Amino acid sequence: RLFWQSMANYSTTTESQDTEVVTGPEESHEFKTETKRMLQIVANSMYSEKEIFVRELISNAADALEKLRHLQSSENIETGTPLQVRITLDHEKKTFTIQDSGVGMTLDELNQNLGTIASSGSKKFLEKLENEGSGSRENIIGQFGVGFYSTFMVGDTIKVYTKSALPGSKGYCWSTDGQGSYTVAEADNVAVGTKIVIELREDSKSFASQIEVDSIIKKYSNFVGFPIFLNGTEVNTVEPLWTKDRSSVTAEQHQTFYRFIANAWDDPQYTLHFKTDAPLSIASVLYVPERHMESLGERMAPGVSLYSRKVLIQPKSKGLLPDWLRFVKGVVDSEDIPLNVSRELLQDNILSRLRQVMTSRVLKWLDNEAKKDEKKYNEFFLDFGQFIKEGACTDAMHKREIGKLLRFESSGLKEGDMTSLEGYASRKKEGQDKIYYLLTPKRQYAEDSPYTEMFKKNGVELLYLYDTVDEFVINHLRQFQGYDLVAADSPEAASHPLL
């Protein structure tokens, strides 16, 4: 045990020590004015979500690894080191180090990247930053590719060692204290890729804690397509199931994935693995839990999280599905949405489009499941019907589809059995163009009611609606597939010639 303990320390110290050696003269550069302004705003204004610097640096590293993987396949460039992200924390020195074996940066990119990002997006970016709420700030970072700037939220000094994968490239050390200038010098012993060493600020020491950083990686970057090591231990071990080919995913894999993302112990009773390229690129896995435990007290949070290119954008995203579908758990990943879209931007056309496509697809999924196994669907409805009815009362856009998912008891079925509205209509009398119902707290009262007597005598079926919410459902629905919904004890019913 002592041996392994010493080995673990060994890997941590060697990885976090700067084995690189600056060899050339340090050239000092002033940050461009808009870059300085940007650093000021970024460094001092994003208190709400400091932790996202981890996500941003991992995303940059993943992009660099993706670029190298592409180069290796096309230009046959081989660097010999495995494509991975290594994060090491030094609790004594309070440093956070992230290293990727990706494509790395040339001297020009090193000098350009920081400035260009600032100058290219700067006008728009600075305006947005200054007048947007802080909520959108942490999201704008990724949008302008300025993820690197987020290191200024947590670092006193930042050192970047980088060497481009292009053959014959030199290694460099870029360094700054974020005050207004940075230095660049040639360095030896720099591995291909990029290594960023952050000396953490007083108020950001928590990012030198392995437990803290482990949970941040699991929260945002758990599905990044390259292994991420934290102090030598691989962190992201759960596969992004939604990106796999549908036919290759087993029920067991779905069960494991469901339990992981829903933080649940039961199994999914329904599973949807949905991918499409039009009108948007969408890859998603959605689940209906076996049982729902929404205690009357607190309202269940939405169960679906929004990803873009396997990076978490919004946990339990409110704008992705309508609130009445909050019992559905899972992941929706769309490459088309702007990276790190913020809540405020959720209304923008791409996202409302995504919401529209996903909602229709979920409704179709549930209807297909009902058609596949009516009995199982009725059990689902006994447990989740309250959500469907909430949708029937509130969602005007999908009224028709939701109507198909409703189930009620009926005078034509024995106690405990339920019918859909389509089922009722399929049993209607010749010439009957209405769907009749009786609002009553219990079946017994319905059976004893004089109205039921009359309807039965005339061979016209009656839906029995026991829930108080049913009245609102009927008032909102008003009709289904051309049939008006008419109360049996209403003057309209009494006047109807059929009876």
Q: Residue numbers of the site for ligand FE6 (CB under 6 A)?
A: 60-61, 64, 100, 102-105, 109-110, 113-114, 148, 160, 174, 194, 196
In the bound state with ligand FE6, the residue whose beta carbon lies nearer, of 15 and 100, is: 100
Q: How far is the CB of 215 from ligand FE6 (least distance, A)?
A: 22
In the bound state with ligand FE6, the residue whose beta carbon lies nearer, of 226 and 258, is: 226
Q: How far is the CB of 160 from ligand FE6 (least distance, A)?
A: 5
Position with the least CB separation from ligand FE6 = 64
Beta carbons of 68 and 77 less than 8 angstroms apart: yes
Q: How far is the CB of 199 from ligand FE6 (least distance, A)?
A: 15
Q: How far is the CB of 202 from ligand FE6 (least distance, A)?
A: 23
Beta carbons of 148 and 58 less than 8 angstroms apart: no
Listing DSSP states for 219-281 in one string gives HHSTT-SS-EEETTEE---S--GGGS-GGG--HHHHHHHHHHHHT-SS-EEEEEEEEE-SSS-
In the bound state with ligand FE6, the residue whose beta carbon lies nearer, of 68 and 325, is: 68
Q: What are the CA-CA distances from residue 17 to residues 10, 12, 74, 285, 432 (Å)?
A: 11, 8, 34, 42, 83
User: Rounded to a whole number, what is the largest CA-CA distance in the chain?
Assistant: 101
In the bound state with ligand FE6, the residue whose beta carbon lies nearer, of 60 and 305, is: 60
Measured CA to CA, the distance from residue 347 to residue 144 in angstroms comes to 20
260 φψ region: left (φ > 0), alpha (ψ -120 to 50), beta (else): alpha
In the bound state with ligand FE6, the residue whose beta carbon lies nearer, of 98 and 345, is: 98
Beta carbons of 245 and 272 less than 8 angstroms apart: no
In the bound state with ligand FE6, the residue whose beta carbon lies nearer, of 145 and 385, is: 145
Q: How far is the CB of 63 from ligand FE6 (least distance, A)?
A: 7
Beta carbons of 333 and 242 less than 8 angstroms apart: yes
In the bound state with ligand FE6, the residue whose beta carbon lies nearer, of 31 and 327, is: 31
How big is the chain by its Cα radius of gyration, in Å? 30
Beta carbons of 326 and 302 less than 8 angstroms apart: yes
In the bound state with ligand FE6, the residue whose beta carbon lies nearer, of 149 and 408, is: 149
Q: How far is the CB of 57 from ligand FE6 (least distance, A)?
A: 7
407 φψ region: left (φ > 0), alpha (ψ -120 to 50), beta (else): beta
Report angle CA 374, 375, 380 to the nearest 5 degrees: 95
Q: How far is the CB of 207 from ligand FE6 (least distance, A)?
A: 17
Q: How far is the CB of 114 from ligand FE6 (least distance, A)?
A: 4
In the bound state with ligand FE6, the residue whose beta carbon lies nearer, of 61 and 406, is: 61
Q: Look at the block and give the residue holding tokens 């829930």.
A: 467
Q: How far is the CB of 196 from ligand FE6 (least distance, A)?
A: 6
Strand partners, 276: 282
